[in-house]
Amino acid sequence: MSGLRETAYAKLNLALHVREKLPDNYHRIETLFAFCEDGDEVSAEHSTSLSLRVSGEFAGGLGRSDNLVEKAASALRDACDVAQSAALFLQKRLPVASGLGGGSADGAAALRLLGRLWNLPTPMERLEEIARPLGADVAACVRSQSTRGSGRGDILEPMDIGLAGTPVLLVNPRVELRTADVFARWDGVDRGELEDWREGRNDLEAAAMSMVPQVAAILAWLSAQRGANFVRMSGSGATCFALFDSDSDRDHSAMAVPREWWSLATRLR
């Protein structure tokens, strides 16, 4: 496609503390979002009607009702009271329902992209406002910078944690895990607030492991890798990740990932 492009940066949760279930059936959480340099890609060009084409390795797992790209485009048009349209193209490179915020990142990338294509006066703060009704993680994905999230994950506080450029390896067992299903298996125990993310935890790991035992195997495998200094599951899973001391250590591990697993070697933004 010859139009503008935006990367939908993969989201990681360096910590995810579940505090309680809210009256609207969402859960109050405390999390630290970080973002990778790579992810899906959204392209757009001017058109007389709004349309979307999806391709890529994981395009087949994405239903129309799950796709936030068109919803984001419609929300932006309504919020800015414009009648412009676009032909949108999504290159789906990240696994679906994998804890990487792929759908949320796609929607956020569409907002950034169409704001440029349509020459709209939409600063990041305005795009975050438009993003919030689309889903709990979409607002955090607008800037795609390290951010502390609270509430439903949509009360955001930017944080510079000094990890930009850190080598990271993502590994997924190629099994989808729907967020609502994993939260439904959370044991309901409030284990305390998020203070130091390195001393934190992901409160959904046990629930995810009960549904997809490969999560435990991936965490153990990553923990055994040379130079891996921090290992955790992201979001509701089933993707796990490791931060590495060096690119060479990460690349050495990436070459050894079992063939039945999906993986991505990248860096933090």
Q: Tell me which of 11, 38, 40, 71 is the catalytic residue.
A: 11
Question: Any catalytic annotation for residue 190?
Answer: no
72: exposed, middle or buried (C-beta count within 10 Å: 0-12, 13-18, 19+)? buried
Q: Tell me which of 137, 154, 203, 249 is the catalytic residue.
A: 137
- Dist CA 267 CA 43 (whole Å): 22
Question: Any catalytic annotation for residue 71?
Answer: no
Query: Which positions are annotated as active-site residues?
Result: 11, 137
